[in-house]
Amino acid sequence: MIEVSNISKTFDDIKAVNDISISINEKNVFGLIGTNGAGKSTFMRMLAGVLKPDSGSILVDGISVYESEEAKRLFFYISDDQYFPPSAKVSDMENYYKLFYKGFDSGKLNGYLQRFELDKNRKISTFSKGMKKQLSILLGVSSGCKYLFCDETFDGLDPVMRQGVKSIFAKEMEERGLTPVIASHNLRELEDICDYVGLLHKGGVLLSKDLEQMKSNIFKVQCVFSDKDKEFETLNQMEVLHTERRGSLVTLTIRGERKNIVSIIESTNPVFCEVLPLSLEEIFISETEVVGYDIKKLIY
């Protein structure tokens, strides 16, 4: 388990990370979502022990991560722009990581390299950005680490490669309990892979929730009520987060249990009523509007 308690980081007069507290459970995919400049990369560098927080603590399986070799053997950190020595080949990086990660699996790496058609004896400097991303991920899952920290993992990967990486994550989670922690600015990219999500904005966490719980507790409902009085009566019985009108069609975003919402609306004999699923982006828009943030300006 990873426990982040009240960490902050300031660069000159810029508060990059402001009093963040998050718990990340094992064998789940945790998605940290935010816009450019929200503090994701700074947070990930502190999580990996590259930067020291000005205040607060970060524990990986109970071990303080900064300047701890024991803690750093538990995870593999993939930065947004992963560094490789100028003349290094894939085989050189394999030998390098084998010195640190005692459980590094060369057989697994070779299998993944063949699957992704990456030449083990080719200089990494000749790889494209996407190929370097692929290599970083393959080295990470082959290291035998418990946690994989990924900053903008899917940036630079084409759709086929993205699905390939997601399938690797699923396989490694099932077989040995890998826990990926993925920072991204793209909500849609993470929706089908994350179990738990946190939204980072201006250095602080707005939300940190189980994705399935969020989806089971907030709904979009499209209705045509028979008259205004019944509409007013119905809306007052529910926790309505957002209302949009197009003629007689009312689209509502409502927090609560599905059966209770449907029961209340149907009790007024509406002309039309349909419950629709919400995307992760729509959920965050609704949740953050409630606390005063216009998320529509922040995500895409």
Residue 146 is predicted with a pLDDT of 95
DSSP state letters, 75-109:
EEEE-TT----TT-BHHHHHHHHHHH-TT--HHHH
Q: Shortest CA distance to 117 belongs to which of 104, 135, 129?
A: 135
The model's pLDDT over 121-157, given as tens digits with 9 standing for 90+, comes to 999 999 998 899 999 999 999 999 999 999 988 877 8
Which residue bears the tokens 């991920």? 137
The model's pLDDT over 3-15, given as tens digits with 9 standing for 90+, comes to 999 999 999 888 8
The model's pLDDT over 48-67, given as tens digits with 9 standing for 90+, comes to 999 999 999 999 999 999 99
Asked if the model's pLDDT at residue 178 lies above 90, the reply is yes
Distance from first CA to last CA of the chain, Å, rounded? 31
User: Taking the model in full, what pTM does it have?
Assistant: 0.80
Domain with CATH 3.30.70.100 in the chain: 216-297
The residues, ordered by sequence, that sit 6+ positions from 145 with a Cβ below 8 Å of its Cβ are 73, 74, 75, 76, 101, 103, 178
Residue 300 is predicted with a pLDDT of 46
Q: How many whole angstroms from its chain centre is CA 134? A: 18
Q: What is the mean pLDDT of the chain?
A: 87
Q: Which CATH architecture has domain 2-210?
A: 3-Layer(aba) Sandwich (3.40)
The domain 216-297: what is its CATH number? 3.30.70.100
Pairing of strands 147-151, 75-78: parallel
Domain with CATH 3.40.50.300 in the chain: 2-210
Q: Average of pLDDT values for 27-36?
A: 84
The model's pLDDT over 93-127, given as tens digits with 9 standing for 90+, comes to 999 999 999 999 999 999 999 999 999 999 999 99
Count of all residues that appear for the chain in the document? 300
- Low-confidence winner among 2-6, 72-76, 224-228, 281-285 (lowest mean pLDDT): 281-285
Give me Rg for the CA atoms of the chain.
Answer: 23
Q: pLDDT-based confidence at 297, cuts 50/70/90?
A: low
Strands (E), the chain: 2-11, 14-24, 30-34, 55-60, 63-64, 75-78, 147-151, 179-184, 196-201, 204-210, 218-224, 239-246, 249-255, 272-276
Handedness of CA 158, 159, 165, 168 (dihedral sign): negative
Pairwise CA distance, residues 176 & 105, whole Å: 13
